[in-house]
Amino acid sequence: MDGNGRWAQRRFRPRVFGHIRGSSKIKPIVREANRLGVQALTLYAFSTENWSRPEAELSVLWRLLKKYLIREADELDRNNVRLRIIGESERLGSDVHAVLGPVVERLSKNTGLQLNFAVSYGSRREIARAARLFALDCMNGKRSPEDLAKNETLLNDYLWTSELGALSDVDLVIRTSGEKRVSNFLLWQAAYAEFVFTDVCWPDFTLEHLTAAIQEYSSRERRFGGVSAPATQNVWPNPVPQQN
Ligand code: IPE
Ligand code: MG
């Protein structure tokens, strides 16, 4: 969800104004993703590198996250959405945990859209952590290094996304704000993802932009390193309903 700061600065407003406007876009996008039949949606809300931002900006970001969770828990539950946090949850403040814990618990039985907030998330840290956990399992005899040689996907079980199972493989990454970088996001999981880059900053990202990105995705041929597949292979699980 990139571009909040620049969106605000272009309007001669403080960066946090962009975060406030940006956070208001989460609700409609989540609702629409659910309606379109998206099975898993991960929002990159805060990276491990974002900790270097000024304290005042950080406190607004945490306040907005808590506000979102408090406001939206009912609707998410009604819509059968399950919520997870991926990232270094141990670095989040006790105030964030106090709000987050009960909401995650409340939605934990839901089977619809699997909504993930990447918070204090960094993919290199995630992979390094997975390697460490795997090594520990080798030391205590639960695994052997050869297991990984036979089946590289074993490492999935050690990532923050492990609970998502097959859904942890990313189909589509949408990056807003004109940047054309991966920025330490789901490096392992997005190995064969399609990327859609848009110049639109996150506070201006609408349902139409989402639909357009999914349609762009649907028109791509995914070969996964193989040869041409039948043209129908890449149709979105559910046809994109017409807007009215
Ligand atoms: C939002 O956009 C992403 C967050 C870290 C909350 P930015 O704050 O990165 O906005 P830009 O990139 O400075 O415009
Ligand atoms: Mg940015």
Would you list the DSSP string of 38-103?
Answer: -SEEEEEEEEGGGGGS-HHHHHHHHHHHHHHHHHHHHHHHHTT-EEEEES-GGGS-HHHHHHHHHH
> Residue 79 catalytic?
no
The response to whether residue 32 sits with its C-beta less than 6 Å from ligand 1 reads: no
Residue of 50, 79, 110, 184 marked catalytic: 50
List, in order, residues 6 or more apart from 97 with CB less than 8 Å away.
Answer: 89
Assess whether the C-beta atom of 2 lies below 6 angstroms from ligand 1: yes
Question: So what's the pLDDT on residue 160?
Answer: 98
Low-confidence ranges of the chain (pLDDT < 50): none
In the prediction, which pLDDT does 92 show? Answer: 98
Distances (CA, A) of 63 to 38, 73, 93, 140, 243: 28, 16, 11, 41, 33
How far apart (Å, rounded) are the C-alpha atoms in residues 223 and 229?
7
Number of helices (H), then strands (E), belonging to the chain: the values are 8, 5
> pTM above the 0.85 mark?
yes
Measured from the CA of 6, which atom of ligand 1 is nearest?
14
Q: Which residues surround ligand 2, an ion (CB under 5 A)?
A: 2
How far, in Å, CA of 96 to CA of 89, rounded? 10
- Ligand 1 contact via 76 beta carbon (within 6 Å): no
What confidence score (pLDDT) does residue 228 get?
81
4 within ligand 1 shell (Cβ under 6 A): yes
Instruction: Identify the three-state secondary structure at position 195.
Output: strand
Dist. CA 222–CA 226, nearest whole Å: 9
- Crossing angle for the helix pair 15-23 and 55-78, to the nearest 10 degrees: 10
Q: What is the pLDDT of residues 90-100, one digit of tens each?
A: 999 999 999 99
Rounded to 5 degrees, φ, ψ at 240 are -70, 115
Can you list the domains of the chain with their CATH numbers?
4-120+172-219 (3.40.1180.10)
Give tens-digit pLDDT for 117-149.
999 999 999 999 999 999 999 999 999 999 999
Distance 173 CA to ligand 2 centre (A): 16
Interior angle at CA 50, CA 96 and CA 180, nearest 5: 130
pLDDT of residue 238: 61
Report how far residue 150's alpha carbon sits from residue 128's, in angstroms, rounded to the nearest whole number.
20
